[in-house]
Structure 1
Amino acid sequence: MSEASSTPGEPRNVTELSGRITSWRDFADRVSAVMAMAAVEPVSITMTDTNFVHWPLGQRSVMEAFQQWAVNGSSVVKCRLLAGTYEEFARSHPRWLMWRANWSHRVICQEAPEELASQIRPMLLLHGRLGLRLVEEHLGTGVWTRDPGVLSDWLSDCDAISQRSHDGMPPTTLGL
């Protein structure tokens, strides 16, 4: 596996298909870079984590990228989140939740059953293009790849858990 490039989320050259993620900060920087890519050329997105606490989903640049992704993408382009729990999400990412209220028709949030939640790894996939996946959550280390076979395998792993999951985190809170 080649070393990670100096620009988060982008390889040094077109032939470089994968690299390392060295820390949670590196992961967050790469999430921001990947979302900037998605804003320019929208494709479906899959994001997974046990709780998304360490993700930069509330950062202004990431929120602007999500908005551009939603505006520029067709109605078939979706974003799917799969979590073990959404208990901390509102406290960690209030801006993202406000944005999602307007785009809930394009954003699906699923919660895995308790017995499968521990199998979820932090991962961000731009379908068919690029993926980030942490291998060691406590350290925030992992890999990024553009390899279509690996991306397909990662998506299959997510789909296996997703099929047994239920809707999580309603887009709005209803009250009387």
Structure 2
Amino acid sequence: MDTPDEPRHTADDADAPESAAAAHPSGRIDGWRDFQDRLRAALAMGTTEPADWRLCDPDFVSWPLGERAIVEVLQQGVLAHPRTRLTLLAARFDEFPRKHPRWLAWRQDWTHRVRCLQANEEDAPQLRPMLLWPGRLGLRLLDGVSGRGVWSTDPATLHVWQADFDVISQRSAEAMPGTILGL
């Protein structure tokens, strides 16, 4: 995935010692469309190697998880890499059946690799939209209404974001079972 605000390389800078990603380990996200485009690109990039994705949002209603292309990318990733995992952390999942039915259908086959966690009432107000590929890439919205935020490949920043996610997820409960067992 090209990192945002990355300069285009020319023949004159072919001998540059640092990659553009190392020179620019972070940048801005300028709205929900920008966030969604970066999310799609990040997930596609994640199919090339095992990934342990962490996604966080109060309700995921503005995410493109129900798109056919997103489900296909997720399918490619989990089929290609047995260690690929996905954890979603939300305040509530009540809009998933309406907003992301295709994702829910896909998840039924992958409940052993896809966890859904519901934050407790105390932690729920702290949830901000975020995608984290630990050690590689993060997208984090600072304003969930406008969709403005930041992206980063900086290991120190990603470590802080992962710690924030982990603190809330450890106090969260399993939610949205992949299948409903009955008699």
The answer for the alignment partner of 2:119 in structure 1 is 112
Q: Aligned equivalents of 2:30 and 2:108: distance in 1?
A: 33
Q: Select 1:72's aligned residue among 80, 96, 102.
A: 80
TM-score when normalising by structure 1: 0.90
Q: Which residue of 2 aligns with 1:37?
A: 45
- Structure-1 separation of matches of 2:165 and 2:51: 17
Aligned residue type for 1:21: I
Query: Could you give the per-residue CA deviations for residues 59-100 of structure 1, whole angstroms, max 9, x where no partner exists?
Result: 1221111001100112x3311110000011111100111111
- Alignment partner, residue 70 of structure 2: 62
RMSD: 1.8
Q: Does the alignment pair 1:100 with 2:131? A: no
Alignment of 1:106-145 (within 5 A): 106-145=113-152
Alignment of 1:137-176 (within 5 A): 137-176=144-183
Q: How many residues align?
A: 169
Task: Name the SS for the 2:122 alignment partner.
Answer: helix
Structure 2 gaps, min length 5: 7-18
Deviation at 1:173, TM superposition (A): 2.8
Structure 1: tracts of 5 or more residues without a match: 7-11
d(CA) in 2 for partners of 1:26, 1:14: 18
Identity of aligned residues (%): 49
Question: Take 1:5 and 1:42, find their aligned partners in 2: how far apart are those partners?
Answer: 26
Larger Rg: 2
User: What stretches of structure 1 move > 4 A for 4+ residues in a row?
Assistant: none
Aligned to 2:12: none
Instruction: Report the 3-state secondary structure (helix = DSSP H, G, I; strand = E; otherwise coil) of the residue aligned with 2:166.
Output: helix
Following superposition of structure 1 onto structure 2, how do residues 9-20 of structure 1 map, counting pairs within 5 Å? Answer: 13-15=20-22, 16-20=24-28
The answer on whether the counterparts of 1:40 and 1:68 sit within 8 Å (CA) in structure 2 is no
